[in-house]
Amino acid sequence: FLCPSLEGESMAYKKVTETLSDPGKIVALYVRVSTGYQVDKDSLPFQKKELKAYCKHILHIDEKRIEVFEDAGKSAKNTDRPAFQRMMNKVRAGQVSHVIVYKIDRVSRDLVDFSIMWKEFKAGRVTFISLNEQFDTSSAIGEAVLKIILVFAELERKLTSERVKDIMIGRAHEGKWNGARMPYGWKWNSEKQFPEHNPEEIQAARLIYSMYEKTKSSSKVRDYFNNNNIPTKRGGEWTTKTISDYIRNPMNKGDYRYNYRESPHGKKKPEEEVVYIPGVFPPLVDPDQWDRCNAIMDHNAERLRNAGAAHNQKHIHLFAGLIMCGACGSYFQSMKPDRKRANGFRPSLYRCSGRVTKRSCTAPGASDVKIGPVVFNFISHIVAATKKRQEIKTPEELESLLLSGPEFAPIAYIEESSLHGIFDALQGRTRPKEGLYLPEPLSHQSAPDPGSMEAKRAEAAKIGRALDRLKKLFLFDDSAMNEKEYLSTRAELTEQLTRLNNEIRDAEEASFGRVEELNFVSSASSFLLSYSIQSGEHIQYNEFAAAVDDQIMKDFLNLIIDHIVVSEAHVTEIHFKSGLHAKFIYKSA
C-alpha cells in the first residue's frame, strides 16, 4: 500500500480488514486482456493466480467470498464489457466490499469513465486495490495517486494508438497488407502472408465489370447476381451499393489504397493522408477496363446529382422518411413526382427501398393520392373527437367518427387494442407522451437578424468553454460537486449548445433576402392548415394540398407522426409521436 508512513499503512490495512470481515459482501477480482495474443500467452490465468494469492496470503479471506469477473479480448478504452458491467451492477446493489485488479489499466484507461466508476465505488463504500501499483483508495493519498496514474494511463493509450497507426501506415507505404477483410474475388495466402486471386470467385468478379461496362447499370448487375443465386463474399444478397463499391475498389486493378476512411463506412479522409500505391497486387481485371467502368460510374453520378439538384428545388415529398413497408419493414424512398393535376397539385410517388436495393421485396409503390387523404382526415377526425369527448361514450362510437368519410370506406374496423388506446387517451385515462401539435395561425416568420446571429455564435462559444471548465472541475476537484450535479449541469449545457448550434445552422441556410410578401404567404398557409385541421370537416386532399405550402405541410407531418405503415399501397397503420397509434383492418376483396 502506498501510504505516507507505517502508521498510515497500518490504518489503511485496518480499514481493509474491517470491510472484508463483512460476510454478506463479495470481493470482486477483475481481470481483462485486450487481444487474443494475450489470451494465448496465459495473461488471464496469471492475473487470476496473482489476485487469488493476494487475497489468501495478504487479506486472509475465505475463497468462497471471491468472485472473478473476466473480460477476454476486450479493450479498456470504454466500459462496454460484459463482465465489467456485471461487476458494476453488483457494486450498485451493495453486494461488493472490494474491487481488486492486477493493474489499474485492466479496469479503465479513460479518465472520465474511471472517474464516474470511482464515484460509484465511493457511494457503495467499495475499496479499490491495484496490486501492480501497490495502493488502495481507503487513504486520501492513495486516491490522489490513483487519479495521477490514470492520467498517465490514458496518455499511454493515446501514444500507443498513434504508434500503431504510424506502423500500419509505414507498412502500407512498403506495400505490406494490414489485415483488412478480403474483398470478393480474393483470398488470403497464409504462407506468403499476402492476398491472391480466389479461383472460386474470380469468374463472377470479372463478370461484374463486364456486365457493368455493357449495361452501365449497377441495378441490372445486382438483379442478375441475385436472380442466379450468386451470393456476396459473406453469403448475402447483392445491392446497388455493394456492386458500386466493388467496381470502385482499386485493389481489383492491382493498386493498394490504405487509410482511406476514418472508419470502414465513415467519412473519407483528406487526400494527403491516404496511402495509394499502384501495382502492388496482380490485377483481378484489366486496369483499362477498371478505368472505363469507373468513368461510366462518374458520369452516372454527375447526371444524377444534376437531376437531383433540379428535382429538390421544384418538389417536396411530404411523406418522405415516414412510410414503412408492411411486407419487409424497410422504409419507402421517394421517386420522381407524378404528373401535375389541373389545380397545380403534384403528388409524390414512393417505393420500398428493400425492393430498390435488393429486389427482395415485392411490395407495390405508394402515392400521396392514397396516403394523404387517409392521414390528414384521420388527424382531423381525432381533433374533432377531442371536442366531442363528452358525447363519445364507447370505443364503437369513436370508431364510427374516426372512420367517417369516403377515404375509409375500404376499412372494416380499427384493431381493438389501438382503438381502445385512443379511446382511453380521449377519456383521460391514459396520457400520450405529448399532445397532438397544431400550428399557431399567422405565425410570424421574419428573416434572421445578423446582429443576433453574432450574439448566438458568441453564446455558443461561451457554453463550449463552460463545458470544458466543468469537466476539469469535476475531475480534479472532489469538493466542487458530486457526480449527479456534474451530469445534470453537463446535460443542461449540452442541450443549450445543441439548440444554439441548430439555430445558427438553420439561419445560415435560410435566405436573408426574403420579402414580406413571401412571409405573408407562408403565414397564410400556416393559418389555412390550422383552420382546415381544427374545423373537423372533411378534407378534399387534392384541393387542400394544392393550396397549402408544401414545406409547412411536411414540417407538420414530421412533428406529429413517427411512421406510417403501408401494405399493398394502402395505409394500414399510423403511429404518432404522442404514443398513440391506429391499425386499420381492411375489408376482404
| pLDDT tens-place string over residues 433-479 | 444 444 444 333 444 455 566 777 788 888 878 877 777 776 666 66
Residue 223 has pLDDT above 90, yes or no: no
CA distance 71 to 49: 16
Give the residue-averaged pLDDT of 19-45.
70
pLDDT at 162: 72
Q: What is the mean pLDDT of the chain?
A: 77
Q: What percent of the chain has pLDDT over 70?
A: 71
Distance of CA 536 to the CA centre of its chain: 38
Give the residue-averaged pLDDT of 402-422.
91
CA distance 414 to 416: 6
Amino acid symbol at 394 = T
Output helix, strand, coil percentages for the chain, rounded to the nearest 5: 50, 15, 35
pLDDT at 109: 62
Q: Which of 192-196, 204-208, 510-514 has the highest mean pLDDT?
A: 204-208
Give the residue-averaged pLDDT of 353-369.
79
Q: In this predicted model, what pLDDT tens digit does every residue of 140-154 receive, in sequence order?
A: 776 677 667 667 766
CA distance 375 to 369: 11
**DSSP-H helix ranges across 55-101:** 82-92
Residue 354: CB atoms within 10 A of its CB come to 21
pLDDT at 272: 77
Task: Cell numbers for 135, please give them.
Answer: 495502493
pLDDT at 462: 85
Task: Cell numbers for 109, please give them.
Answer: 484507461
Q: Indicate the CATH number for domain 186-302.
A: 3.90.1750.20
Residue 264 has pLDDT above 70, yes or no: no
pLDDT at 435: 45
Task: Cell numbers for 17, please give them.
Answer: 480488514
CA distance 411 to 585: 6
Task: For 573, list phi and psi in degrees, rounded to 5.
Answer: -150, 145
Q: Which CATH number fits domain 6-159: 3.40.710.10, 3.40.50.1390, 3.30.559.10, 3.90.1150.150?
A: 3.40.50.1390
pLDDT at 171: 73
**Running DSSP on this structure, what letter comes out for residue 331?**
B
CA distance 213 to 323: 35
pLDDT at 307: 54
The DSSP code sequence of 392-416 is: --SHHHHHHHHT-SGGGTTEEEE-H
pLDDT at 514: 36
CA distance 482 to 475: 10
CA distance 530 to 526: 6
Q: In this predicted model, what pLDDT tens digit does every residue of 80-89 receive, in sequence order?
A: 788 999 999 9
The residues, any chain, with a CB within 8 Å of residue 340's CB and separated by 6 or more, are 346
Residue 12: pLDDT band with limits 50, 70, 90: very low
Residue 523: pLDDT band with limits 50, 70, 90: very low
Q: In this predicted model, what pLDDT tens digit does every residue of 273-305 receive, in sequence order?
A: 778 888 889 999 999 999 999 999 888 888 766
Residue 96 has pLDDT above 90, yes or no: yes
Residue 552 has pLDDT above 50, yes or no: yes
Strand, helix or coil for residue 282: coil
Q: In Å, what is the CA distance from 348 to each residue of 62, 291, 373, 431?
A: 72, 37, 13, 34
Q: Which of 72-81, 470-479, 569-578 has the highest mean pLDDT?
A: 569-578
Residue with the larger pLDDT of the pair 401 and 161: 401
Residue 10 has pLDDT above 50, yes or no: no
Residue 86: CB atoms within 10 A of its CB come to 14
Contact yes or no for 110/84 (Cβ under 8 A): no
- β pairing state of 366-367 and 349-352: antiparallel
Residue 146: CB atoms within 10 A of its CB come to 19
Residue 344: pLDDT band with limits 50, 70, 90: low
Amino acid symbol at 157 = R
Residue 516 has pLDDT above 50, yes or no: no
Residue 207 has pLDDT above 70, yes or no: yes
Q: In this predicted model, what pLDDT tens digit does every residue of 420-443 receive, in sequence order?
A: 888 888 877 654 444 444 444 433
Q: Which of 306-320, 405-419, 442-456, 504-518 has the highest mean pLDDT?
A: 405-419
Q: Which of 1-15, 75-89, 350-364 has the highest mean pLDDT?
A: 75-89
Residue 361: pLDDT band with limits 50, 70, 90: confident
Contact yes or no for 323/316 (Cβ under 8 A): no
Residue 131: pLDDT band with limits 50, 70, 90: confident
Residue with the larger pLDDT of the pair 424 and 77: 424
Contact yes or no for 361/325 (Cβ under 8 A): yes
Give the residue-averaged pLDDT of 517-536.
52
Q: In this predicted model, what pLDDT tens digit does every residue of 42-65 receive, in sequence order?
A: 578 888 999 999 998 888 888 889
